[in-house]
Chains A and B, each alone.
Chain A
């Protein structure tokens, strides 16, 4: 079974984070919620593997 990557995997983490913030710039809460939902759907399709997606959902559900 394929495993979710749980080590850093984005070469320039700061650049990604900045891009994520920029994408939400000027959005209302409602628009940001919609954008996030679209982003989840686009990324989920890219991943494709149901096992990976379930592991990611499980990890995301864990609270600090």
Chain B
């Protein structure tokens, strides 16, 4: 078999001139960790012209498929970062899901997607491909002269917090050196050494579980469907999931429970025996990768600690049901980078970064809630909850109305930052789904897509308004985007509803800051000040 992408060093160690300086060089932003979330942070910062150094103790993309399901919002974020098309092209989708209970199929369903979006609800794609595309995008930005510096095999060994900077001690194959940063983004994963070095732990562990995850190559022709088993004969009392990935690769997740023998469970003969029972005696398959994955469902109390900002698994972890791990990490970055850019540029006070904590802690709680509900259904904790769970599954076969209670994971959707200190005025005649705090929803335009036009800076979306923004509005760096309801029925329905005109103030992460039905410059300026933490409402 050809060498897999995850076996090749993509960012090998190279000695950097910083290592020869007698006093530590200070950088505006250092990202710790070049996993998918750290790479997204580096691309976003570099693309916006904020110099960034990324330190990673490794030099390769992740081993095995790991995170495999990426949501529409993730693709929209990567679209803004200039690398979604390759992901969407390579990724696969399933359109039929099947649910099994014990030894039988209880029902199948078709995935019906809302139309009028550039990207699908999700794609399945091995994490190593996603990371490879991110590294490619990062390299392309470097070629354009964007200030991104990715340093492989640079392991952060110690961190010191100071009033106006952070100090780092870094180990490399050439020995140690020190760096300073105005800000740190810690994206160093669930076991985050940064978190540990700063002496912080998680609050309230909700639960924990183990999964045996396997990548299996099967001949073409095996259906491209999502199969979920409750209490199957080949994994009694637990669950199992089969998912299609690109390259005739299928991902299989066996839930194992908490008290297991890790060595024993990973033995190839044991794994192959499980797979035979699951796929049938006649299905030919080849085991490519197997691993045991332990998750816990918990978050840090705060994601900002002075000048260190935590993102992704370093800050919060959930069960895999619903694909709310990596997807929420990209939303963290989407939320954080524009704020950091304004603070570094002196255009917003440091307190703007507290809204990162507020908004993303809220999102993490929503993910933990959904993930906990899924886990409660999949793994009932008491006899009574098992009786009800089994009753739902028994009934579902012949009684359609209980099917919505079957919870095999609720797919990651972006959080709406209700109650955020950055939110400005709302208009109750406009559609509720686009209230302040909500991410802009995509819609077809007469040419291209709405989200292709949005993001990276504050924008004022004006729909069929008579007045147009004055110059001083652009002076604040707010770009007017004037569109008409005639662009498409979806656009009119999503942004106007019953109203005849609308004005949306959009943040650089495409979330709605405030909205009105008429354009009034003073109101927009006040909302802009609020959205950049410069003024209380």
Interface of A toward B, CB cutoff 8 Å = 33-34, 37-38, 40-42, 45
Contacts and interface: CB of A to CB of B under 8 A. Distances in A.
A37 B402 contact: no
Contacts, number: 26
Interface string B372-390: 0000000000000001101
B394 A34 contact: yes
Describe B's contact surface by its main secondary structure: helix
Contacts of B390: 34, 37
Contacts of A38: 391, 394-395
Given A37-B387, A41-B388, A42-B402, 15 more contacts: A34-B387, A34-B390, A34-B394, A37-B388, A38-B394, A38-B395, A40-B388, A40-B391, A41-B391, A41-B395, A41-B405, A42-B395, A42-B401, A45-B401, A45-B402
B399 interface: yes
A38 B387 CA distance: 9
16 contacts: A33-B387, A34-B387, A34-B390, A34-B391, A34-B394, A37-B390, A37-B391, A38-B391, A38-B394, A38-B395, A40-B391, A41-B395, A42-B395, A42-B402, A45-B401, A45-B402
A40 B390 CA distance: 13
A41 B399 CA distance: 10
A37 B388 CA distance: 5
In order of increasing CB-CB distance, the 10 nearest A-B pairs are A37-B391, A45-B401, A38-B391, A37-B388, A37-B387, A33-B387, A41-B402, A38-B395, A34-B391, A41-B391
- Interface majority SS (helix, strand, loop, mixed), chain A: helix
Contacts of B401: 42, 45
A61 B8 CA distance: 60
Contacts of B402: 41-42, 45
A41 B402 CA distance: 7
Contacts of B387: 33-34, 37
Contacts of A34: 387, 390-391, 394
B392 interface: yes
A61 B83 CA distance: 54
B382 to A, nearest CB: 12
